Amino acid sequence: MNTPNLKHLSQIVAHLNSHENIAILDGTVINGAQMHNHILLAIKKIDDINTNKIALFFNNSYHFAVTLIAMLCRNKTPLILPHSQADFINAIANEIEHILCDFNIDTKIPSTLMTNLATTQTPPQENTLKINAAAELIIFTSGSTGEPKKIIKTLSQLETEFLALETLWGKTLGASVIRSTVSHQHIYGLIFRLLWPLCSGRCFDATTYQYPEKLLDKIIAEKHNVLISSPAHLKRIPDLIDLRRCKANLQMVFSSGGPLDTMSAIHISKQLDFPVTEVFGSSETGGVAHRQQTLKESAKEWKVFSAIKIKQNTDDNSLLIHSPFEGSGDWYPMQDIVSINADMQHFKHLGRADKIVKIEEKRLSLTELETQLNLHEYVASSAATVLSGKRNSVAMVVVLNSLGKQYLKEHSKLSLNNCLKSHLREYFEAVVLPRKWRYNDALPTNAQGKTTQLDLQNMFNQSVNSPKLPTLTQTNIINDNEIELSFNIPENLHYFKGHYPDFPIVPGVVEIDWAIKYAKEHLNLNAKFIGMEAVKFHAFITPNDNIMLHLNFKKETHKLLFSFTSKTSKLSSGRILFS
C-alpha cells in the first residue's frame, strides 16, 4: 500500500509484537504479542470444529477481531451476522453449521464461546500466522425489506478502501484511539472501527458505547481520540452530554448508516469546533462519498471518493457507480435518487428509489412525504411505510418536538392527526395521505442505526388485531446479563380490553410477564420462576406510551432485577426470583 502507515492485514498479523498497542480490552491495553497468543488459542478452538460454515457474532470487538483473524489464518471464510435474532438466523440456517460468539445465543445451531482467550493459557507452539491474499468474508445484510442478502467481500477489496480512507484522513487521525458507538458486525463498523485501525497501526477500544456519559469519560482520559458513530447516536448525544468538555481530545467524528440531519450536524460542529464527517455507502458498495455539513447549501452535497466513477440511470435518475470497493468491475446500480453536478464528483441525494410506492394507483414518494411532514412546526422527524391489506395504505411514525408534544398534551391524538393531515393535504392528494399514525420518542432503529421498513411496519402490528406484546423499538445490550429495551405500547393491546374501558392500563401482572419473557429471550435465562420481592408499581402504562425496560440478571443470587420507566418517571420495579 502507498501510505507509510498502512499495511496489508496479512503483514500486520505476521509481525505482531509487544511494541505495538493493538486494542483496549476492559481498560487494559493489549499489545501485538498478546494478540498473537490469543489468535493461536482461537485457532486451536476452530481446529476442533468440523465444518467450514462458521458464523461470527460478538459484542466485544477484540474477541471478534481475534476470532476473525484466526479463521482467516485457517483458510475459512467467516460469515458475519448483522444481529443474533433467532428468526434471522433461522432464515439463513442453510448457510450456518456453527456459531462462534462471546455470549449465549438463542439458537439450535451449535456454538462455541470465545471469551476466555485473553487469559494466561499457554498457546500452541506456532511462530507464524499467515493469511491468504485471496481471503474472503461473507456479510449478511437485512436490507430495507428485512430479507437476508448475502454479500461476499474479498480482503483485497476492503484493503483498497482502507487506502482511500488513509489517504484522505490518515494525517488528521494520527495516533488516535478509535472509539465507537456502532457494531463491528456491519460493514461500516467492521472497516472504520476495526480493520482500518488494525492495518494503520491505531489502537481500537473493544467496547461499543451505548451511554454517552461513559464515552465522554473515556475521551477526556485520552489525549487523542476518533469517534465512529451514526445519526441515531449523534442526534441524541448533544442532549445528554456537553461535547465542549472533550473537543480538545477529539480529532474526528465519523457518521454513517444514513444522512445526519443538517441541524444536528451544525449543532455538533458548533460544540466541537469542527464538522462531523459523514460517509455515504452501503454493505454492497462500501464507501461511495463523504461530506461535512455547514450552513452553506453546497455543503449538503456528497463528494465521491477519488477511486469511484458515477453516472445517472436515465430511467429513474438513480445512482450508478463504478468502484474498486464494490468489486464487480461493472457499473453497480444503487437505489438512491440523485442529482449529479457537472464536475461528476459531487451529487445531491434526493431520496430512495425503493421508497416510490403506489397507493390506489397513485405514485407516491415516501421520502417526499416525510420531507414535507418534517417541515411542520410540530415535527422533529418522521418515517413512512406502507401497510398491506385489502387496500394498501400509508402509515407514519412521527417524533414530535417540544411544540408538538405540548399540542398532543393539550389536545387529542385525533386532533393532532388531523392537523398534520391538513398540512400534507397542501402537497398531496387525499387518497395517499397516512391513515395510521404513531407518535414515538425516537424512530425505531436496528443495530446499525438504520430505520427499516420492517421496523416501521412492526410498530403498527398490521397482521395482529390485538397484540399481546409491546412494539420493540430499540435494543441496547450492556453485557451478557444486562440489557435495556425500548418499547411503544400499541393502542390495540390485548390487555386493554376491559382494563379499564374509560382508562385503559397495562395490568401489573402483564408487566411481570413481559420482564420474564424478555429476560429469557435476551439474557438466555432458562431457570424456573419461584417468586418475587420488593415489587412496586409507581405509575400506569397507557396506550401509545414510550417506555424502557431495564433487565439485570444477578447469577450469584438467581435474581432478575427489572424496572419499567418512561422519560419522566419510574413506572414499576422489583426482583424476580428463579431456582
In 3D space, the residue among 523, 529, 511, 509 whose CA is nearest the CA of residue 469 turns out to be 511
In this prediction, residues 125-150 reach a mean pLDDT of 78
Region for 62 from its dihedrals, namely left if φ exceeds 0, alpha if ψ lies in -120 to 50, beta otherwise: alpha
**Over 70: is that where the pLDDT of 344 sits?**
yes
The reported pLDDT for the residue numbered 441 is 83
The residues facing 180 across adjacent strands are 208, 228
| C-alpha grid cell, residue 515 | 420482564
Helix (H) or strand (E) holding 455: helix 453-460
At 414-442, the pLDDT tens digits run: 899 999 999 999 888 888 999 999 998 88
**Over 80: is that where the pLDDT of 143 sits?**
no
At 47-61, the pLDDT tens digits run: 999 999 999 999 999
**Over 50: is that where the pLDDT of 196 sits?**
yes
Say how far residue 448 (Cα) sits from the centre of its chain.
Answer: 2
d(CA 545, CA 489): 5
At 506-547, the pLDDT tens digits run: 888 889 989 998 988 888 777 888 888 888 888 889 888 899
Ordered by where they begin, the domains of the chain are 360-439 (3.30.300.30), 464-578 (3.10.129.10)
In this prediction, residues 253-279 reach a mean pLDDT of 91
- pTM for the model: 0.72
**Over 90: is that where the pLDDT of 330 sits?**
yes
The reported pLDDT for the residue numbered 138 is 96
To the nearest 5 percent, what fractions of the chain are helix, strand and coil?
Answer: 30, 30, 40
**Over 90: is that where the pLDDT of 467 sits?**
no
- Give residue 318's identity as a one-letter amino acid code: S
In this prediction, residues 258-267 reach a mean pLDDT of 87
Least confident span in 211-225, 231-245, 444-458, 520-534: 444-458
At 280-292, the pLDDT tens digits run: 999 999 999 999 9
The reported pLDDT for the residue numbered 2 is 45
Summary mean pLDDT of the chain: 88
The DSSP annotation for 126-158 comes to: -------TT-EEEEEE-TTTS--EEEEEEHHHH
Counting Cα atoms < 13 Å in the Cβ hemisphere of 90 gives 6
**Over 70: is that where the pLDDT of 146 sits?**
no
The reported pLDDT for the residue numbered 499 is 58
